[in-house]
Structure 1
Amino acid sequence: MDEDAAGVKDEPSLFPRVLIAGISVAVVVLFAALIWMIYSQGEGGGEPILVEAPEGPTKIEPEDRGGMDVPHKDKLVFNRVSGERSDADEQLRPIAETPLERPDVPSLEARIEESAEPVASGVKEVVAAVSGDPDKDDGAKAAVAEMTADEPDVAEKDAEKDSAASKPSKEKASAGLPRDQWAIQVAAYRQKHYARTWMIKTKFEHKEVFGDLTSELVETKRDMATYYRVRFGSFPDRAAALAKCDEVKKLDLNCIVVAPE
């Protein structure tokens, strides 16, 4: 009995296979039904809907437009684009300049020669007509003698120049300020035209301080360089010069007192 029971095997059940096959068939049927519904949904709905714009203009200008009345809006100057081709050539860049004839200007040497005039410094000429009358000749000679007597001797002039050149002078000043009175110095420049321009400008802008004073430029040699000092004056004593310096310093300018020589 035990051997017979051991030789008999249990046969597998068919239910799982049938269940899997049924589920697969159901899925295929549902998928096919879904596809059919999608493709057959638009059938039998009547004619298709036609969408079109209404007839007539899109915008109609009202009789009363309202708003602000803008002047000159109908001027022809705004109608620049007409759509028609112009017969004239279009100019995209300015026309080339027409060269002018060079004026006939004389050279610099010619202008210098024309503008040069004979300079007679301290020389007086007397032209006397030579005639046979001795009285007129004597009068001309007397006039020439009188004029030449007024002129200093050339030798004396040369001697004065030599003596002035022999003196070791470091400063050359104009005759604007007296050397025996006090003065004030406000600025110094290496270039003479800068010093002169600054002096004139300062005296004009600060008339209340420098208006009643005399100005001058003093040329000074120092450390192998030339300076032009701007000075104002003159003052009778040191106290007056110091008082004026106080007024100058209130203008944010430098100021030193210059003693008389």
Structure 2
Amino acid sequence: MLLIGVLVALTAAAAVGAWLAWQGSTGGSGNTATLPILTAPTGPDKRRPDEPGGLTVPHQDKLVYDRLIPGTPTRPVEQLLPAPETPVERPRPPEPQAAPQVAAANPPASPPPSATLPGSVMPPPAAAPAQPATVNPLPPPGVLPAPVTPPTVVTQAVSAAPAPVPAPGSQQVAAASPAAAPAPGGWRVQLASVGEWNRAQSEWTRIQRRAAPLLDGMSPVVVEVKLERGTFWRIQAAPLTDREAAAGLCGKLKAQSLDCLVVAP
């Protein structure tokens, strides 16, 4: 069996070799086709046609050709918008100059109605020196943001020391002393309190514009108050005839979401 298999394999190999030899001899003598070679065309890829047809537009691209000519002067560019503004430093408001101080004593505290009667004998005033009230002018009108009535400034100092009690049995006529500088007007309505002098005028202008019908014909009064936590300037509107008028104005201001406080004379 092994010998038969070897003979079959040799016979098959001989047959394949004979077939290959025959194919080689017949293929070499036949005609072979030449393979084509692809090459890129010569010349430009696109070319304007001699007769493009369509609508004929005269002087087409004339402006572009003029710009490409060397030596042609360039036309100035038209400026449509105005030139930018040059920044200017804002003027600083001048420092307020202190006016001559007016020496005046603080007004005595109002006693209860039942304590004293008109014409009764009063004890002498306290011997402690009273702090003078200072009236400061406003800055020049040119610095103010709006032409409004300049406020009157009244300086008040808060004293924490209580007045001494007079000795019993002593009845003397109160000594004549200079009265304190009264605030302009009678009853007033306080509108705001600021911590800087320069903000007093601008705050009054803002409130006056917001409540213009209610504050027409009224003048601002700026009261300077020195407290332990600092100095404050209270902005008040005056004059008002009585407490009812001040309370009525304050109620109308609160209806417009504005804070206010009635101030007695």
Instruction: Report the structure number with the largest CA radius of gyration.
Output: 1
Structure richer in helix, relative to its length: 1
TM-score, L = length of structure 2 = 0.46
